[in-house]
Amino acid sequence: MSSNDTFQTPLNSRYASTEMKKLWSPRTRFSTWRKLWLWLAQAEAQLGLPISEEALSQLAAHVTIQDDEFAGIAEEEKKRRHDVMAHVWGYGQVAPAAAGIIHWGATSCYVTDNGDLLLLKQGLDILLPKLATAISKLAQFADTYKALPCLGYTHAQPAQLVTVGKRACLWLQDLLKDLANLERARSDLRFRGVKGTTGTQASFLQIFGGDHDKVERLDELVTEYAGFESAYIISSQTYPRKIDLDTLNALGSFGATCERIGTDIRLLAHGKELEEPFEKDQIGSSAMAYKRNPMRSERLCSLGRYLQNEPKNANDTYRAQWFERTLDDSANRRLSIPQSYLCADACLILLNNITSGLVVYPAVIKKHIDEELPFMATENIIMACVAAGLSRQDAHEEIRVLSHEAAAVVKQQGKPNDLIERIKRTPFFDPVLPQMDQLLDPSTFIGRAPQQVEKFLRVEIAPALAKYEGQIKAETAELSV
């Protein structure tokens, strides 16, 4: 059957990167199992079990599963209804000298769970530099526009001015938290190790004739081969499913950040203050040729929304585990874990692409400021009146009356805000008219925003990115569709 006749997850066919798709591929998964069987055999041989050099050599030569092996293994699994035993059989077919010692003393979770822990770690190793890259690009944007005044919004209504760069730092602050969450999730990962069917290591204790030291050393050796610093001392048949929950929570939280940022960009695009990149031949609408829809940010919101809902699966799976284990976790985890990583990867491709080419329109931003600034400037004007010897109460009343008149013109007639012209025509304000341009300068309304941006980038962003030196990519992440 053609792939065009079979459902393909869009995460695979449209959105995720080649490296992330490869990580969660059948070849990588089952080759990882083979590595684990090889490491187990090497450690057992090192500790004195009768495993020949020929067996180890054949295992090492066939660690990567080949295309022509999959069909036979699939047929064996169909017959045995057990994926791990089918792969034990398949590995033995290409490494016959080792066929009798593959999986010696182990339970299925030796390869499935340890393998998943390896993939969880490798997946985070793919995601973290990509997130650092997005943070780096957005930090450059924030620095460029740290002093460009723009309207702030509270309750989605115009509020005191901020700057374009200061607003970007709100996004950066959330992404920095995501970076810390993913780093913590990675550092928390430990190896399940060599623990046997219920975590007691009884099978290995039997193999080594009751020698506890050798069983402990076996666990340590395989853990070292796998590249982990430590293994869980206590486990059931599986590693704690709490680990999946913690990891997917970190990914899901990042998904929420993506929707938050994407929504802000979409709203700013609605006001024509900011736009995501738009390619020369890109079509915004099939009917409305003039459209420049924020499709990247919309997709970022869409995928971010999917990602932030995946931790619910991990939560439900964790709390539904009985005693030393049940198998109702298996099918769910085969979906939720890879899809969470693929989705996070897709979000980072979008985030990198968007932050590489954000377009700012200062003239539109100034137009919006000019529409609202007269009202915001009234407090400054009142203070200037008091400094010039006028009554604060009289100044407040004059401003109140003129403000209501100007607001009526804006709301009822759709005309520009003419409050300043009204003030200039009112003799009461003659003493402060020479200061009017200064009182209306937008740069005097942004407080310490530029200095805050500089300090934030220096104190928080730079140290967080230092560990990713050499991994941050300057080029734009390309979208496949």
Cα distance from N-terminal residue to C-terminal residue, the chain: 25
Q: Amino acid identity, residue 229?
A: E
Say how far apart CA 115 and CA 134 lie, in whole Å. 29
Q: Amino acid identity, residue 183?
A: E
Pick the catalytic residue: 2, 3, 155, 286? 155
Structure tokens at 472: 């941050």
Pick the catalytic residue: 25, 285, 391, 443? 285
Give the SS3 label for residue 1. coil
**CA 3 → CA 8, 11, 436, distances in Å?**
8, 15, 69
Say how far apart CA 308 and CA 306 lie, in whole Å. 6
Structure tokens at 218: 């076996």
Residue 131 half-sphere exposure toward CB, CA atoms < 13 A = 31
Helices 311-319 & 295-309 angle (0-180, nearest 10)? 0
Q: Amino acid identity, residue 458?
A: R
| 155 among known catalytic residues | yes
The answer to whether 149 and 140 are in contact (CB under 8 A) is no
Spell 47-85 as b/e; 16+ CB within 10 A means b: bebebeeebbebbeebbebeeebeeebeebbeeeeebbe
| 356 among known catalytic residues | no
Q: From its phi and psi, is residue 196 left (phi > 0), alpha (psi between -120 and 50) or beta?
A: left
Give the residue numbers marked as catalytic: 155, 285
